[in-house]
Amino acid sequence: MKGRVFVIGLGLIGGSLALSIKRQHKDCHITGYDINDEQGKLAKMLGVADDIAGSIEEGAKDADLILITTPVQVTERMLELLAELPLKETVLISDAGSTKAEIVKKAQKLTDKGIAFIGGHPMAGSHKSGVSAARELLFENAFYLLTPQQHIEAGKIDLLKQWLKGTKAKFIVISPEEHDYLTGVISHFPHIIAASLVHQAEKTSQEQSLVTRLAAGGFRDITRIASSSPTMWRDILLHNKETLLQLLSAWQLEMEEVAAMLKEQDGEKIYQYFEKAKTFRDELPQKQMGAIPAFYDLFVDVPDYPGVVSEITGYLAKEEISITNIQIRETREDIIGVLVISFQTEYDRLRAKKCIEHYTSFETSTGP
């Protein structure tokens, strides 16, 4: 496909979408815009964008496809601005935000002008940010939710899928309201729970100093998503307020049931509670990408001697395997420690496991 694509927001998501579009449609021209001039310069230098617009007006005027890949509150402002600009009548506009109902409402002014807006949400990400972390295949095999309003023609949806074909994502078309409920259940609400667990631990640590030391390891793992951007999650919660209030009410009832089991000392009910949760959780797809980016960790038992970390990272560098994070857990009393190395994909983790086992005698595992 030929045409001009304008990407507003040159971070991880915007950069990766630009790369995947360029990969599939080599004759298209991609213009980028970012409020951070350095990100814009870096995007052009890395080949993510063909050129950088000095303003939204400049980049949007001749675009055939406009992708807004900014935080949701910024996306609202971008939609209002675009509605005031002279755009091509055939331009197709989409976003990449984590909430949809409010965004689609904000796009009504564009709809009134006869311009098609189709909400989008690529359900993939990384623990790195910025355009330098962008990858062509970031969305490969990920779910990509599209939330068109009922009046949007099927041909427009197909056209957007064609533009985004290079993502190699799995497209699902649902309503904006259904999107917000589903992502509320499996993404937004879990982030609230993770943050609340951390708050509880922090308050307890004021009286029990051992909490902080013992919270290393498993507690850090189950609350990792609490380290996400506070700005982003503030905006998401405010956008998806009604759904989250419903879920919080249901959660309070759930906790009341647990409290009742404990008060009654009903061992059978407690057992069944955990048994049912285990069964459902174990049946969840293991290889499939979901709403929360997966953590691909490799645990390596390493002896405590100088240079062991650089030795292992050196082997990985030799095989050109990129890592996203590395930490040492000193949880044992002997001379063996645990090195935790994080990767962007399951493929990278498997390559790393084979690499380390080839060059060393260290034991590795994909679970703690």
User: Could you tell me if 218 and 368 are in contact, meaning their C-beta atoms sit under 8 angstroms apart?
Assistant: yes
* 177 closest CA partner among 114, 102, 106, 91: 102
Please state whether 114 falls in left (phi above 0), alpha (psi between -120 and 50) or beta.
left
pLDDT the model gives residue 293: 65
Cα–Cα distances (Å) from 366 to 160, 296, 319, in that order, read: 38, 8, 19
Maximum average pLDDT range among 57-66, 129-138, 330-339: 57-66
Maximum average pLDDT range among 122-136, 152-166, 286-300: 152-166
Confidence band, pLDDT 50/70/90 cuts, at residue 333: very low
pLDDT the model gives residue 292: 67
| Residue 356 scores a pLDDT above 80 | yes
To the nearest 10°, the Cα dihedral for 187, 189, 195, 201?
A: -120
Confidence band, pLDDT 50/70/90 cuts, at residue 169: very high
pTM (2 d.p.): 0.80
Which domains does the chain carry?
4-174 (3.40.50.720), 179-282 (1.10.3660.10), 296-365 (3.30.2130.10)
pLDDT the model gives residue 80: 95
**189-233 pLDDT, tens per residue?**
999 999 999 999 999 888 888 888 777 767 887 888 888 889 889
**16-50 pLDDT, tens per residue?**
999 999 999 999 999 999 999 999 999 999 999 99
Q: What is the mean pLDDT of residues 125-135?
A: 78
Alpha helices in the chain (DSSP H): 12-24, 37-45, 56-60, 72-83, 101-106, 108-112, 154-163, 176-183, 189-205, 210-214, 218-222, 230-239, 241-264, 267-282, 308-318, 346-359
**264-289 pLDDT, tens per residue?**
999 999 999 999 999 998 888 766 66
pLDDT the model gives residue 156: 96
Confidence band, pLDDT 50/70/90 cuts, at residue 366: confident
